Amino acid sequence: MKNAVIFRVLVLGAIAIAGIIGMQAYWVVNTWNINEEEFSQKASLALYRVACDLVDMTGGELPARNVVNQRATNYYVVNIESEIDDEHLEYFLQKEFEKLALYADFEYAVFDCATNEMVYGNYCSFKPEQPDLAALGDLPRDDKFTYYFSVKFPNRSGYLLGKMQLSIFFSAILLVVLLFFAYSMHIILRQKRLSELQKDFINNMTHEFKTPISTIKISADVFQGAPEVQQNPRLLRYANIIREQNQRLNSQVEKVLQLAKAEQGNFDLKLEPLPLRETLSQIADSTAVRVEKRGGQLHRRIDVDEAVIETDRLHFTNILHNLLDNAIKYGQDSPDITLYAKASHGKVHIQIQDKGVGISKDQLSRVFSKFYRVPTGNLHKVKGFGLGLFYVKRICDAQGWQIQLHSQPGQGTTAELIIPIAKQGITGWWQQLWGTRAGRLAKPADS
C-alpha cells in the first residue's frame, strides 16, 4: 500500500472518527440535559401536589408564589405557610412520585419552629438495596420560610444514568470501534514497514546474486568449451548441469526483479506495435524443443491473420513463456500442449491448454496471489516460488487485458488471454512510420 493511500485513510478515518465522537458526545449531553430537565419538572410538580394535599388537610392556603424552591440539583424546599402534618407527609410524597413514575430514592425533613432545627423524617427507597447511612441526613435549613419541609434525592445522578443505558451502551460500542480502528491502523503501519523491509531485502539480494551468477555463467561456458571436458562425457554432463542450473537460477532472479518492479508500480511499459503471428510462432518454436525433450507434443493453431497488438514485447513474451512453462511443468511426464490463437471482433484470444493434473475450483481464484502455490501435501514435485501467475496477472492488469483460467482436476488446465487488437494493421504502422521519416528527410530540402 502506497504512503499516499495510507495517509488518506488516516486523515479520512480521523475526520470520520472526530465527527462520530462529536455526534455521540452531543447526543449523550443532550440526553442528559433532557433527563435532568424532566426530573426537575416531575419533582417540582410532585412536591407541589404534596403541598396542595397537606394544605387541604389543614384547611389552609398555599402562598401565592415560591411554593417549590430548588436549592440544589437534588435538594428542594417546599413552603406551605401552615403547619405540616408529618404523619401523612411520607405517604403523600410516595403517592405523588409514583403517579409521575419518578422512582428515585429520597429523604425528607420538616422544619421545627420551636427548636429552629430540621427534624429528619425518613429515607424512602424504591429498591431493596441498603443505603449508605453516612451519606444521609444532610438537609440544611432555609431562613426564608417558617413552615416548610425539604426533600433530597441522594441518588439523583445514578437515577439519571440508569435512564441513559442505551446512550451509554452505544458509547461503549463506539469506544470499542475506536480502539479497533487504532489497533487496525497500528497493524497496517507495522505490516507496511515489514513489507518495505521485505522488498528492500529481496531487491538487494537479487541484485547481489546477479554478479556471481554472471561469473558462474562465464566460468561454466569456458569450462564446457575446454577440449578436455568435451572429450570426457562425465565432465561434459556436469558442465551441462552447471550451465542449465545457472540459467534456471538467473531466470528466477530476473523474475523476482521484474516482480518487484511490477508490485511497486514503477515498471515501464514500452508499448510498440507487435505482429502477433510472427511473435507467437517464435515462442511456439522455442517451447516445442523443450516439450519434445520431455517426450511430449506442442500443437499450434494460429489464426490471427495480420493482427497487431500494442504491447511491451518483453513483458508479453514473458507472460506467454510463464503460461507455457506452467503447462510443461504440470503437464505430467509427457506434456500434451495446445497453443491456439484466434482474432475475432477486434480482439485476440490466446489459449494455452494442457492435459495435466488440473486445479480444483476452490483454488482457481487464489493462484494469482503472490507466493501462492496449489497445496500438494509435503511433496513438491514442481519447483518454484509461486510468482509466475502473479506476474502474469499484474502485467495483464497494467495493460487492461483479461486473463481467465479454466481447469478440472485430472483433465488439465486452459489459460486464456483476451487482448484488444491495435486499430492499425502492420501496413498502417509501417506507412505511418515511413511517412513521418520521409517528412523529416524532406524538410531540410524544402527550407
- The DSSP result for 289-306, as a single string, is HHHHHTT-EEEEEEE-TT
Secondary structure element (H or E) that encloses residue 185, with its range: helix 165-225
Residue 426 has a pLDDT of 43
78 alpha carbon, distance to own chain's centre: 61
Residue 379 has a pLDDT of 40
Residue 65 has a pLDDT of 84
Residue 441 has a pLDDT of 37
pTM of the model: 0.48
Residue 418 has a pLDDT of 92
C-alpha cell at 439: 517528412
**What parts of the chain have a pLDDT lower than 70?**
1-2, 129-135, 255, 258-268, 371-372, 374-386, 423-447
Residue 335 has a pLDDT of 87
pLDDT tens sequence across 22-81:
888 898 899 999 999 999 999 999 999 999 988 888 777 888 788 999 999 899 999 988
**Dist. CA 154–CA 62, nearest whole Å:** 27
Q: What is the mean pLDDT of the chain?
A: 81
- The DSSP result for 325-372, as a single string, is HHHHHTS-SS-EEEEEEEEETTEEEEEEEE-SS---HHHHTTTTSTT-
Q: How many Cβ atoms sit within 10 Å of the Cβ of residue 197? A: 10
**Dist. CA 17–CA 19, nearest whole Å:** 5
**Dist. CA 376–CA 393, nearest whole Å:** 23
Residue closest to 25 by CA, chosen among 223, 171, 173: 171
Q: How many Cβ atoms sit within 10 Å of the Cβ of residue 316? A: 22
CB 66, CB 79: distance < 8 Å: yes
| Residue showing cell 570426457 | 232
Residue 433 has a pLDDT of 45
Residue 170 has a pLDDT of 87
Q: List 61's β-bridge partners, or say none.
A: none
Residue 385 has a pLDDT of 58
**255: Cβ contacts below 8 Å, ≥ 6 apart:** 385, 387, 388, 391
Residue closest to 111 by CA, chosen among 71, 82, 135: 82
Q: List 340's β-bridge partners, or say none.
A: 301, 351
**Dist. CA 351–CA 405, nearest whole Å:** 10
**Dist. CA 317–CA 280, nearest whole Å:** 9
Residue 351 has a pLDDT of 92
